[in-house]
Structures are given as C-alpha cells and as structure tokens.
Structure 1
Amino acid sequence: MEIFPMTLNRRTLLSLTGGLAGAVIAPATLRAADLPQEVRIDYATYSPTSLVLKRFGWLEEDLKRDGVAVKWVFSAGSNRALEYLNAKSLDIGSAAGLAALLARANGNPIRAPYIFSRPEWTALLVPKDSPIRTLADLKGKKVAATKGTDPYLFLLRALQTVKLKRSDIEHVSLQHADGRAALEQGRVDAWAGLDPHMAASELTAGSRLLYRNVAFNTYGFLNVREDFQQRHPELLRRVIGAYERARLWTLANTGEAARILADEAKVSLQVALLQLKLRTDLSNPQPSAEHVKALQAATPILLDEQLVKPGTDLLRTVEALVDTRFAQGLIRQA
C-alpha cells in the first residue's frame, strides 16, 4: 500500500477529488425472531465512512422494514468506543486495531469482523518553533496522548526505538482534541496526534511532524460485542453491508466525502482532504492474515509496558479478536 507524504502544499490539497466507481450492496433478509428494537453503532471523525453512513441514513432505511431502529453514538477516540462496548451501551464500535487488542486482552469481549480503513492517522508532533528535533529529545518532556488509543501506543512504540520508556517522559493524558489544544498553547512539548485534529494542527498552527511510522499505525477495526454477534449474525451482516456501501461511495466520491468529514469534524475542506485522500486507505476491508500478523508484531509493547497481565497469551488473543471469516461474501471490489 502506498502512503502519500503528510506534508503538501495548499494548491495540491485544493485540487484533490474522488473518482472511482462504486456499487450498492444488496441487503440480506433478517430473521424475524428475536430482533432487537435498535442497533447501537458509533460514528467517529477518525472513521470517515461511518460519517457517510450516518449522513445518508442507508442503514436506517434498510432496517426500518424489520422494525429495527439505529442509534448513533459519537466516539471521540478508540478508548471511548471500547469503553462503550464494554459497558454494553454500544453494539458495534470503531477503534484502532492495537487498542482493540489491548481491550480484548484485558477482558473486553469483542471481535473484529471488518476493517473500516488502513490509515496513517497518527504521528508525533511538536510546535513549529520547538527545539526538539529527535525522539531522544523527548526525554523528560511533557507529551500528550489519549491513553488506550493508537496514538498512545504509537508513542510507546516510537520511544522504544530510541530505548526510552513511558517513565522517561511525562505523559499527559488528554483526549485527542484537548491534546491538540495543549500542544498549540505550549502546555505540552509534544503530542501523539490523531486525524483530523493532527492535520488541522499542521495546516492551521504549523505544528511540525517529529516522527512518523506507517507500520506503527494499526488498522481501523469495526468491533462488535461477542454476544451481539452470536445472537444477531444476520443483523451484523446487514451493518457490514451498509459499511461496504459507504466505503464504495467514499471511494467514488472522495471530494464529497471530505466535505461531510469537514462538516462533522468542524475542520476545513483542506484538512479533511489531507486526512481522507492522502492518509486513509479503504482498499482492503476483509480481515485477514495481514491484520493478524500486524497485531502480533505489535504485541511486545503491551507486555513491555505492563499494559496487560503478565503471562497473557497475546498471540491467542489476536486470533480471538480478528474474525477473518464473518465478512466473506460481503466485500465488493471498487
């Protein structure tokens, strides 16, 4: 997969448009027995297809004939989505793959039957005039990151590359938007950002990318509570089918999808295009060995930083989390 540079000029951003042709997923028929009154799904600015799906009401239209309502719940970060799933206030929620693995390892009974994106959505940023030039310079500095999310785990993995640990910095736990504000106001020295907040900070405040690593960005997982998947598999398939419709529409109408993202996230169109067109890969939604291997490669950080109980079999946890079979037959080529 090609990831485009994070830094680009204004003219390039303004010229970006979508262009691939999409298709519509034909809905399956739900079993009438034992259907819930509503399905509770999150939407998030780090999951642009969820915003498209919510905006057009395709899922509501599809499920209305079966008497199932759709309740949308906003997730400000992976940590929120995973908390809601664990509390059973969400049935289906979007989170970064490594964050989902951490949650599963710590007792959150979720599975991941669909990949909503392969993003480069996080990096380490410093203010534009910061004297910090390398990761090693972060020793003893204040770094903001949202605990339990991909940016936080990205930060820990990045520090490890220069033999630093969490205890070598002063971690400031802030939700993503608050982390951006703290960086721009000079209250922290660095920030593990998340798009679209990261893109907005780059383009509006001139925040500088200190460290980026595509391999340390884990996939966007659409997670479902295990009990919901077991009780309502056909309903879950309909939700995934709707996500597929939103994915294909976004690929075919990237400019319009960026406008939806800009509206929902309250950012400029240029920021939305930077996130959606240049940092979001929607080409591979089928969970596979690729996603299993990516998570297995990331498991040491969870043990090294004592984020899971000693002796936790994380390789088996990965296999229990990533459902490589459920969405087979539902994925369509763009």
Structure 2
Amino acid sequence: MRSPLALLGLATALLLGQAPAHAQAPEKPKTVRITYVTAPFNVPSIVMREKGFLDAAFAPLGVKVENPVITSGAQQTQAIAAGEVDIASVLGGTSAILAAANGVPLKVVAAYARSPKAYFLMTRADGPKALADLKGKKIAGPKGTVLNQLLVAALASQKLTLKDVEYINMDLGAARAALLAGQVDVATLAGANATQVEKAGGRALASGEGLIKPTTVIGASSGFVEKHPELLAAYFAAHRQALDFMKTNPEEALAIAAKEQKIGIEDARAQLPLYDFTPAMTAADVANLGEDQAFMIEAGMLPKAKAIDIKATLIAPSAFTLN
C-alpha cells in the first residue's frame, strides 16, 4: 500500500503543475473544512475518518481538519457559497449542477460514487403496490438530491409529476422514521435506511436502475481549488489511502462501515457491490451529468436559461487525471 506521504507528493505535484508560474502563493488557512457524509453507504469517507487519514495527510502542512456533518446537498453547496465549507466530500450531481447554475463558486474535483441500484422508493407492506399508485400519496425524502431526481423520474414513468403527490422534505433518517410510523406512504431512501425498512417488513417500489444514472461527486470551492492545490492534494492523498485500505483490508473496512451505519456485517457486505468508488471523472460521467441537467430542465427543477456547460464550467480539469 502506498504511504500517505508518497500519495501526497504525487498528488501535489500533479495539482501544482496547473498553477501559473507567476502566481504568488496565497496565505495558507489554519483549518480546512471538509463535510462528513456517511449515507447512503460512503465507505471511503467512513474509513478515512476512523483511521485518521485526513488528519495524517494535513498534519505535515500545519493545517487542522474540521468535519462538519452536513448531509443535505443543498446545505453543503450553501455552506460553500457562504465560505463555511471548503470541500463537500459527497455531493449529488444534481446538487452540484443546481449550485453552479445559480452562481455558487463550485467545482467538481472528482467522482465519489456511481450507484443507481443503491437508491430506492420504499414503502410499508400495506403501502402502494406499484408506481402507478403514487398519485395523491405522501412521500418523504431529501429535496435537491439524487433521491429527489429518482422520485421525479419514477413519477414521470407513470405520466405523473411532483404536483400529483405531497412531497415532504426530510433527511434520510427522518423519512425512514416517518414511513415506519405510518406518517407518510413512501420514502426515498438509500443505504442502511432502506435496509432497515426492508427488515421492518417494508419493500422497494423501485430502485434507480433504469430510471436514473446517478454520479455523486466531490465538490470544492472554486477559490479553494485555485488558491490551495497543495491542500486539495492532501485531501486526495487521504481519500486514495482510504480506497487502498478498502482493497487491502476488506473485512476491517466492512466492519468499520457496518459499525458506523449501525447495520450487520452481512448487510454491509450486500451494500458494497452496489457502488463504484473510482474517483477519476470519465466521459461517461460527464454524459450522465448532462442527462441529469436535461432531465432537471424538463422536470422544471432548473430553468433552461440557467443551463451550464457541464465539462467546461462545472468540472475541474484535474478531476479527469486522478489515479
């Protein structure tokens, strides 16, 4: 396994190579703020924190790390806009697009995961029998996220829209609790929350497969990307170390993730294959994000006049050269 310092050196060289030779190095911040998001099943982030990889990567630079827990994509991008967060470690592609389209200084610096089979519309045993039965139902879940997009796509497959349901904004845990308590008919869930509903007798009405092609991404403040490439490199040194740990110590990584998610090891083992955590952005990712934007425009989630050039405007060039 490559050492953190070796990873840091390689990544720093890569990113520093993009900085203008004449640019004067800005003052280095004392603290870097990186969101911590565990759901739906963000094993690299969980391992990174449990094993202390972030602190180890930033310590040689004399920089401390703060990990605010912000699970909503919209809230993460708002925090970036307000200068309260430097890196949004797990951000739905739809959230990134909406933020950039509305002027938030945000760059996608990597892919986080690709996982259409990991997102669900869940109901109880006595809930709606099929997607066609969703009209007039109460549906809970986090707005402005991949799950929001899944709901819109599922409704569209039945020639319905959000206007045909009562859509209530809730985070994943609250949506799961509301569903199991009988307060809503359906919840948009992923990861351990979907598993818990299934164990309680619930079932999936649909997954994202065939409806959406979600790519969650790692986003960062544009200013942070431009001014502090060495700090961004330190982040990726820790991220890559977590991915390497997952490969070389799979059972320990699963145990760490299962404990954090409060699920059994076998449930964790079933979840992991649903995710591709390869960080380098690809042409397919760009195409998927482009389809996401087109879908949001068609669904009325984004005005056509605000559409952006995904590759040129949203994605940092370095996102395609990660290894």
TM bracket, shorter-chain basis: 0.7 to 0.9
Query: What is residue 316 of structure 2 aligned with on the other side?
Result: 323
| Cα contact 1:96–1:221 (8 A) shared by 2 | yes
| Cα contact 2:125–2:201 (8 A) shared by 1 | yes
2:153 is paired with a residue of what secondary structure?
Answer: helix
State the shift of 1:193 in Å: 0.7
Q: Does residue 274 in structure 1 map to residue 265 in structure 2?
A: no
CA distance in 1, matches of 2:77, 2:201: 32
- Identify which of 177, 180, 189 aligns with 2:176: 180
- Deviation per CA, 1:166-217, whole angstroms, max 9, x where unpaired? 1011111111110001111111111111222112222x21220101233514
| Cα contact 2:118–2:207 (8 A) shared by 1 | no
2:240 is paired with a residue of what secondary structure?
Answer: helix
CA distance in 1, matches of 2:43, 2:139: 27
1:38-77 alignment to 2 at 5 Å?
A: 38-46=31-39, 47-77=42-72
Q: Note closer, same or farther for the CA distance 1:207–1:83 as it changes in structure 2 (3 Å cut).
A: farther
Query: What is residue 124 of structure 2 aligned with on the other side?
Result: 127
State the shift of 1:39 in Å: 1.0
Q: Structure 1 length as normaliser, TM-score?
A: 0.84
1:281 is paired with a residue of what secondary structure?
Answer: coil
1:286-297 alignment to 2 at 5 Å?
A: 286-297=280-291
Identity %: 28
| Cα contact 1:134–1:210 (8 A) shared by 2 | yes
Count matched residues.
304
Q: Note closer, same or farther for the CA distance 1:33–1:309 as it changes in structure 2 (3 Å cut).
A: closer
- Identify which of 290, 306, 311 aligns with 1:312: 306
Q: Structure 2 length as normaliser, TM-score?
A: 0.87
**Higher-helix-fraction structure:** 2
CA distance in 1, matches of 2:320, 2:208: 29
2:85 is paired with a residue of what secondary structure?
Answer: coil
Query: What is residue 231 of structure 2 aligned with on the other side?
Result: 235
CA distance in 1, matches of 2:69, 2:145: 16
State the shift of 1:304 in Å: 2.7
Q: Which 5+ residue runs of structure 2 have no aligned equivalent?
A: 17-24
State the shift of 1:264 in Å: 2.1
1:1-334 alignment to 2 at 5 Å?
A: 23-24=2-3, 26=6, 27-28=8-9, 34-46=27-39, 47-93=42-88, 94-119=90-115, 120-130=117-127, 132-202=128-198, 204-214=199-209, 216-275=212-271, 277-282=272-277, 284-314=278-308, 316-317=309-310, 319-326=312-319, 328=321, 330-331=322-323
CA distance in 1, matches of 2:286, 2:165: 30
CA distance in 2, matches of 1:278, 1:199: 15
| Cα contact 2:120–2:189 (8 A) shared by 1 | yes
Query: What is residue 12 of structure 1 aligned with on the other side?
Result: none
